[in-house]
Amino acid sequence: MNSIHIKRLLFSWLILLSLLRVHAQTYPALLDTIPYAIYPEVLPDPPDLPSPFQTNNGKEYVIAVTKMNQYAIIEVTLTNTREICQQLIIDSIDFPHLAKTGLHSEVELNKTKEITGRSLDEITSLARPNALSQAGFLAADEDIISVLKGDNQIVKKIGLTHPKMAAPLFHVLNMMDTDLALERWNMAKHKWENIHHFWYHEKKVYVEVEDTKGGQKSIFDDQIEGGFFIKLWRPFTQEEMIELEACFSHLTSEALDQLKKSISSMNIGEMEPQYIMRYGFYEGHTYWRADPIAISFIFGLKSLEVLNQIFEGKLDQVLMQHFKADG
């Protein structure tokens, strides 16, 4: 690791600690002790605890349900010591405003010429469909800066930050990593089957994970790689279904189904939360997009009613509209 990478890591780590302290204040509970056994021990009944929650020593936990219908309190604290990926890094060299505030400055983005030492043209070229990956990291009519700007505006409008958006995805990765260490994967099927679903801000989130045969390289010069396919989704409540069908009655049945799918499910790998944390990059409008509106809805960061108000009844348009490149 060269000196620039070391400086980036140290500075980002210090900045991120302050951002995570703010993030921790949004947790439902700060506990001195946990009056239940911690995973890999399991419980027959649901513990009387929120999910996620944090202890006063800074450890974070999520309550999950196993395939045997037992309850597990799993530590999911963000760290750089997890084998699956480094999690406490923000690209403070290229984006000092992001490192300081958790959001991009458009003035700073307009002046950006390269990221991690790679030119914007090279990154965009690598990110297009059928380049570094078949699906691509960007749609054909998007470029890296247009996508960074577009999603930054969405996250700012929602009233969150990129680290807060990345945290629940890292929590999923850390549950996976715990079971990998415990050898609780179906290695014959290349699947993580031990955890059926988990609870997050009172939302029941389902998860399916497979490890892939090959590896995905990053569009940035950052040593990030991908090797997992992760599907996340949560069902709508009856009240949410009524609201959707009432607010979007003008849509065709096909368009309404697409809206439901786009806001309530996503396909990601372990690269996406690192991209969000480091660069505020959710990927463009491709199969692998970790849409910030979907993150907010799935993990209960914002309700459907609030999201619909924020985007003035145009959720379908905001979710589908590409961040088109200039020129």
Closest Cα to residue 21, out of 172, 161, 220, 216?
A: 161
Domain ranges of the chain: 3-320
pLDDT tens for residues 187-205? 888 999 999 999 999 999 9
Partners of 31 in the beta sheet? Answer: 55
Residue tagged 């690269």 (tokens): 271
Which long-range contacts does 14-19 make (Cβ < 8 Å, 24+ apart)? 15/90, 15/92, 15/99, 15/100, 16/88, 16/89, 16/90, 16/99, 16/163, 16/277, 17/88, 19/90, 19/102, 19/161, 19/163
**pLDDT the model gives residue 31:** 82
Helices 162-181 and 271-279: angle between axes, nearest 10 degrees: 150
> Which residues of the chain have a pLDDT value below 50?
1, 6-7, 11, 13-15, 17-25, 327
Q: Would you state the structure tokens that stand for residue 117, as one six-digit string?
A: 């030492």
**pLDDT the model gives residue 32:** 82
pTM of the model: 0.91
Contact 274, 282 (CB under 8 A): no
Strands 195-200 and 60-66: what pairing?
antiparallel
**pLDDT the model gives residue 113:** 97
How far apart, in Å, do the first and last CA atoms of the chain sit?
A: 37
Q: Would you state the structure tokens that stand for residue 160, as one six-digit string?
A: 């969150």
**pLDDT the model gives residue 21:** 42
Which long-range contacts does 106-113 make (Cβ < 8 Å, 24+ apart)? 106/149, 106/152, 109/145, 109/148, 109/149, 109/152, 110/145, 112/145
**pLDDT the model gives residue 197:** 98
- What's the distance, CA 304 to chain centroid? 18
Closest Cα to residue 84, out of 16, 169, 9?
A: 169
